[in-house]
Structure 1
Amino acid sequence: MHMSVAVTGGERPSGEALSLSKALLSDPDLRSVEVRGIPQASSPGSMSSAGDVLLIAFGAGGIGATVVQTLCTWLAGRRRDVRLSVTQGDRTVEIDVTRARDMDEVVALYRQLDSSTSGSRDGEAGA
């Protein structure tokens, strides 16, 4: 499975994406996860970068819940203007700092993303 995470906002979205990548790679529960950054060009006439995208690849077995939890833990410590746009399968969800600090929102986020792949799972609840 895979998901993409677009980092926007902040003074340096590319720096925020690098920080998020390091957080994912340093989590011992995510040793099997691959993270690759793909810089995005800013739109013409824009004064700032459009943000950076991380591609995250992982196997089945509930690791997606750990990825989402790590994303939200990282985001909860950021400035209010940093946002993540997380895409898995045909679903995309937006996460801001306020949502990332609310555990009910984190669980709802995981369920939204997980429902895009739930047809191939055997009913495991996850988070």
Structure 2
Amino acid sequence: MEKRGDSEMPSARCTLTLRVSAGSGVETEAHLVSLRDWLAAEDVLRGRVELLARTPRPGQMGTALDVLAVALGSGGAGAVLARSLSTWLVQRRADVTVHVSRGDGQTVSVEVRRASDPQAVIGAVGRLLEGGEE
């Protein structure tokens, strides 16, 4: 982490991974693609959001979309990610949980039921970026 002013900010090379949990695998993939499209529409995040697929398990055909990788840097990308994720969750019509992880293993999970309070989502992701615990 590099220090900027009074607060800790993520380094320019900080990459977060986002996993979505929602019902069936097909439903989860649909939410993951939706989240990717939503985040990629943000100017600050454009070109920084990538869908990653996992290797198929024995007996499975093809790969499954598994996770989003979001590369953060300067310019307030972390704050934009937290705000955008909060808005996306509030608009979900299904039970959805997003798990956000840093490279060092710190994780925060945000459920759609909790997303009715956008500030709670922004705060949870913000604490993860600052290195604090939820």
Q: Quick check: 1:100 aligned with 2:115? A: yes
Q: Which runs of 5+ in 1 are unaligned?
A: 45-49, 118-127
TM norm structure 2: 0.69
Aligned residue number for residue 87 of structure 1: 101
Deviations 1:51-91 (A, max 9, x none): 73101112134210111111111111113421100012431
The one-letter amino acid paired with 1:3 is L
**2:29 equivalent to 1:28:** no
Question: In the aligned structure 1, how far is the partner of 2:81 from the partner of 2:103?
Answer: 15
1:38 aligns to what?
A: 52
RMSD (Å) for aligned C-alpha atoms: 2.6
Judged with a 3 Å threshold, the aligned counterparts in structure 2 of structure 1 residues 107 and 70 are, in CA distance, closer, same or farther, namely closer
Kept in 1: contact 2:87–2:118 (CA 8 A): no
SS of residue in 1 equivalent to 2:17: strand
Q: Output the CA distance in 1 between the equivalents of 2:35 and 2:41.
A: 10
Bigger mean CA deviation after superposition, 34-43 or 86-95: 34-43
Residues 86-113 of structure 1, C-alpha deviations (whole Å, 9 max, x = no match): 0124310000112222133123213321
1:41/1:71 CA distance change after superposition, 3 Å: farther
Q: Residues of 1 paired with 2:108 and 2:43: CA distance?
A: 25
Taking structure 1 as the reference length, the TM-score comes to 0.72
The answer to whether the Cα contact below 8 Å between 1:5 and 1:87 also exists between their aligned partners in 2 is yes
Q: Tell me which residue corresponds to 2:22.
A: 9
Which deviates more from structure 2 when the two are superposed, residues 58-67 or residues 98-107? Answer: 98-107
Tell me, yes or no, if the aligned pair for 1:9 and 1:51 is still in contact at 8 Å. Answer: no
Q: Distance in 1 between matches of 2:57 and 2:91?
A: 28
Q: Please, which runs of 5 or more residues in structure 2 have no aligned partner?
A: 1-13, 59-63
Residue 6 of structure 2 is matched in structure 1 by none
How many equivalent pairs are there? 111
The one-letter amino acid of 1:94's match is S
